[in-house]
Amino acid sequence: MNNIVAIEAERMIDARGGPPVEPAVVVVEGERITAAGSPAQIKVPEGATRIALGARTLLPGLIDAHVHLKGWRSSNPNDILITPHPLAALRAAADCRKLLHAGFTTVRDCGGCLGPNLRDAIAAREIPGPRILTAYRGLSQTGRVEKVTWAADITPLRQEVDGVDECRRVVREHIGLGADLIKVSITGRVYAPQSDPGQTAYTLDEIRAVVDEAHRMGRLVAAHAQATQGIKNGVLAGVDSIEHGIYLDEEACELMRERKTALVPTLAYFYRIATLGEGLGSPAYAVRKAREVVDAHMKSFALAMRMGLRIGMGTDFEGSPLFPHGENGMELELMVQGGMSAGDVIVAATATNAAILGIEKKLGTIATGKIADLIAVPGNPLKEISSLRRVEFVMQGGRVACSRIPDVAEIS
Ligand SMILES: [Zn+2]
């Protein structure tokens, strides 16, 4: 089969900040983009296979900067403890296919022991799914992890660790076990009975030790941070992204802007617990706390935009009916409802997220030399952001991974 493909569409949003290109053609050779722009300016090589996408918009593959891949199917956090490990892994593999088919060609797994194995199986093309950057298990201070006593050693999502020396050791251990990044929880949380999103966790010295050790080994640090002081501690210690950021204030935003710390808001996560959690079996404490924080969270999102922070897109979805993989595009709609323009939301979910993951040289925009991760949606997502939840074509690394368009076949 010919190795050169020319993809034509009515419109292209390349996520490089300019206006859409109408019409557009993207030339892909092997796994790379070799040309992209208006058909008047691009010379398509002779013999290239043409893929005509008609009245659709081409965009870079979407990136979700905050997921968990652990095969959860219940809103009760303790159910995972009685789920056989292979069953959880198979469900997580099914979630990976759903993510890819929904247009997410890359995800950042912010904690879960299945991450390294899923990443490797997908990279070897044994199962379909997004390329994965994984934190392996997140670090959490003792007493903050949802668990029952007898299962203290098998909680798969987070690992309890305390003290400067132990924090350094566990960062080293996780990197040895395949972590691409380090995730650390530096405040309390909504979805745990014994902690509160307004509380800080970890001392500044402990967070500094995590960051120092991770950075020394070339890994970025994502910090679960909801409380105002906890967010500030994280930024001062040098974490690379603040996840959730429920209680931002101007001082926190000022610090984040100065140090270029990114924000991954995860609006859908709290919104879904507050509105759907009760019906889907969430513990009462989670529903109560989510309802308490949603308004403050939306205000923080608006403040972050006003203060010009680097904002990415992440959902915190993990596969249960409350946080279903494949529906992650919901976050894009909530960001628009929160006041961000559709064009900025698309950049957040592609180019900015690629930078937050540290892969912006290879992915995140449609440009010559980049890896060919492309999606197509019907109509114009700048006018109707929900079209990004109706992805009809997915190319990953130059291969057609999913097509719902007649006459356009998948290439496995
Ligand atoms: Zn998370």
Neighbours of 164 (CB within 10 A): 16
Domains of the chain: 4-61+364-403 (2.30.40.10), 62-357 (3.20.20.140)
CA–centroid distance, residue 315 to ligand 1 (Å): 8
CA–centroid distance, residue 316 to ligand 1 (Å): 5
**Nearby residues of 295 by Cβ (< 8 Å), 6 or more positions away:** none
Q: How confident is the model at residue 83, as a pLDDT?
A: 87
CA–centroid distance, residue 66 to ligand 1 (Å): 6
Distance of alpha carbon 256 from the chain centroid = 20
| C-alpha pair distances (Å), 368 with each of 27, 34, 63, 394 | 9, 5, 19, 18
CA–centroid distance, residue 320 to ligand 1 (Å): 13
CA–centroid distance, residue 74 to ligand 1 (Å): 16
Q: pLDDT (tens digit, 9 = 90+) per residue, 360-409?
A: 999 999 999 999 999 999 999 999 999 999 999 999 999 999 999 987 87
CA–centroid distance, residue 109 to ligand 1 (Å): 8
Q: pLDDT (tens digit, 9 = 90+) per residue, 275-292?
A: 999 999 999 999 999 999
Name the pTM for this structure.
0.96
CA–centroid distance, residue 203 to ligand 1 (Å): 21
Q: pLDDT (tens digit, 9 = 90+) per residue, 395-411?
A: 999 999 999 998 787 66
Cα angle at 296 between 335 and 290, to 5 degrees?
90
CA–centroid distance, residue 67 to ligand 1 (Å): 6
Average pLDDT over residues 210-225: 98
Average pLDDT over residues 222-250: 97
Residues whose beta carbons lie less than 5 angstroms from ion ligand 1: 110, 316
Confidence tier at 357 by pLDDT (50, 70, 90): very high
The residues facing 105 across adjacent strands are none
The CA distance from 153 to 159, in Å, is: 9
Q: How confident is the model at residue 264, as a pLDDT?
A: 98
Q: pLDDT (tens digit, 9 = 90+) per residue, 341-354?
A: 999 999 999 999 99
H and E: helices and strands count for the chain? 11, 18
CA–centroid distance, residue 380 to ligand 1 (Å): 31
